[in-house]
């Protein structure tokens, strides 16, 4: 990379609470999806939300963004209580959101998609840096969003939030349905994000992808956190995790 890496985080930064969720309940219409989620993420940490389909990982991420019909409890981002804020104000606290369905706009070109999210903070990646990180996107920049492959769409969905200067990223199922070679490339990107000090919350179906990178794993089942596994406990608790995640 030509760009300078961000300055290493100081100890005081590392203890800074980027996200604290307490007793979060979330609803879609009449259905009560989250039943009291509690979790904390400190600045610069990479945390995964693990669980089976329908356990509530995606809803947790969507709740942080304010994209559910109704929520109660507390979601403190960067010291600001956000549970009553609308999504655009939450985003401006410096959150970059990569949705499960990728959300590439079909009627916009790849580059228009890339340039769409407004700058939230200074220090975002430049277009050159992004194209260096995702060379495929440079070749496809004039293509219509709908013409991109699944892998390209996923790259683009991540790339466009790196441009905005967001330092807290929510990545929902970024490896889902992608070829191993693309998952490998995404692994390199995520590793770089961690090195650069981004705070990352990822929803994943298994710990295969993020296991080696994450500082902590939260297992979600029936809309609650049922297990919290620190990175150093991963080996000792592997069997337990697998029993939670097996279908």
Partner 1 sequence: MTELIGISPQLLFAQVLVGLINGAFYAVLSLGLAVIFGLLNIINFSHGAMYMVGAFCSWLGMQYLGINYWAALILAPVVVGVIGLLIERTLLRRIQHEDHLYSLLLTFGLALMLEGIFVELFGVSGQRYPVPDLLNGGINLGFMFLPIYRAWVVAAAVVVCFTVWYLIERTKLGAYLRAGTENQALVQAFGINVPMMRNLTYGFGVGLAAFAGVLAAPIYSVAPHMGSSIIIVVFAVVVIGGMGSVLGAIITGLGLGVIEGLTRVFYAEISNTVIFIVMAIVLLLRPAGLFGRQS
Contact residues for partner 1, defined by CB under 8 A: 65-67, 86-88, 90-92, 97, 99, 103, 105-108, 112, 115-118, 120, 161, 164
For residues 117 and 223, which CB has a smaller minimum distance to partner 1 in the complex?
117
Query: Rounded to an integer, what distance in angstroms lies between the CA atom of residue 161 and that of residue 155?
Result: 10
For residues 15 and 115, which CB has a smaller minimum distance to partner 1 in the complex?
115
Q: How far apart are the first and last CA of the chain?
A: 41
Q: 165: which DSSP letter?
A: T
Q: How many CA atoms lie within 13 A of 71 on its CB side?
A: 29
Shortest approach of partner 1 to residue 105 CB, angstroms?
A: 5
For residues 119 and 126, which CB has a smaller minimum distance to partner 1 in the complex?
119
For 180, phi then psi, to 5°, come to -55, -35
For residues 163 and 216, which CB has a smaller minimum distance to partner 1 in the complex?
163
Query: Rounded to an integer, what distance in angstroms lies between the CA atom of residue 120 and that of residue 168?
Result: 11
Shortest approach of partner 1 to residue 62 CB, angstroms?
A: 9
| Count of CB atoms situated within 10 Å of the CB of 186 | 18
Question: What tokens does 154 get?
Answer: 């996923």
Give how far Cα 181 sits from Cα of 20, 41, 123, 124, 137, Å.
35, 30, 30, 27, 16
Strand order in the sheet with 31-42: 31-42, 17-28, 70-77, 80-81
Q: Of how many residues is the chain composed? A: 247
Shortest approach of partner 1 to residue 134 CB, angstroms?
A: 18
Which spans in 174-245 are helix H?
Answer: 180-195, 238-245
Shortest approach of partner 1 to residue 89 CB, angstroms?
A: 8
For residues 44 and 96, which CB has a smaller minimum distance to partner 1 in the complex?
96
For residues 72 and 115, which CB has a smaller minimum distance to partner 1 in the complex?
115
């Amino acid at each position: 990379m030509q760009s300078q890496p961000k300055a290493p985080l100081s100890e005081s930064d590392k203890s800074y609470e980027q996200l604290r969720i307490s007793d979060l309940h979330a609803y879609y219409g009449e259905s009560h999806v989250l039943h009291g989620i509690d979790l904390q993420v400190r600045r610069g940490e990479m945390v995964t939300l693990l669980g089976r389909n329908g356990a509530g990982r995606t809803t947790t991420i969507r709740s942080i963004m304010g994209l559910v019909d109704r929520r109660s409890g507390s979601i403190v981002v960067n010291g600001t209580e956000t549970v009553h804020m609308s999504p655009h104000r939450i985003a401006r606290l410096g959150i970059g959101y990569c949705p499960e369905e990728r959300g590439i706009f079909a009627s916009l070109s790849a580059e228009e998609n890339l340039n769409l999210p407004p700058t939230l903070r200074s220090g975002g990646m430049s277009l050159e840096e992004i194209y260096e990180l995702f060379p495929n996107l440079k070749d496809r920049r004039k293509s219509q969003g709908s013409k991109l492959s699944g892998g390209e769409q996923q790259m683009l969905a991540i790339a466009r939030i790196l441009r905005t200067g967001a330092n807290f990223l929510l990545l929902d199922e970024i490896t889902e349905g992608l070829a191993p070679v693309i998952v490998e490339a995404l692994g390199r990107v995520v590793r770089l994000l961690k090195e650069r000090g981004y705070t990352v919350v990822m929803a994943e179906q298994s710990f295969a992808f993020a296991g080696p990178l994450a500082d902590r794993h939260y297992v979600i089942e029936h809309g609650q956190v049922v297990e919290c596994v620190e990175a150093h406990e991963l080996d000792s608790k592997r069997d337990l995790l697998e029993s939670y995640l097996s279908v």
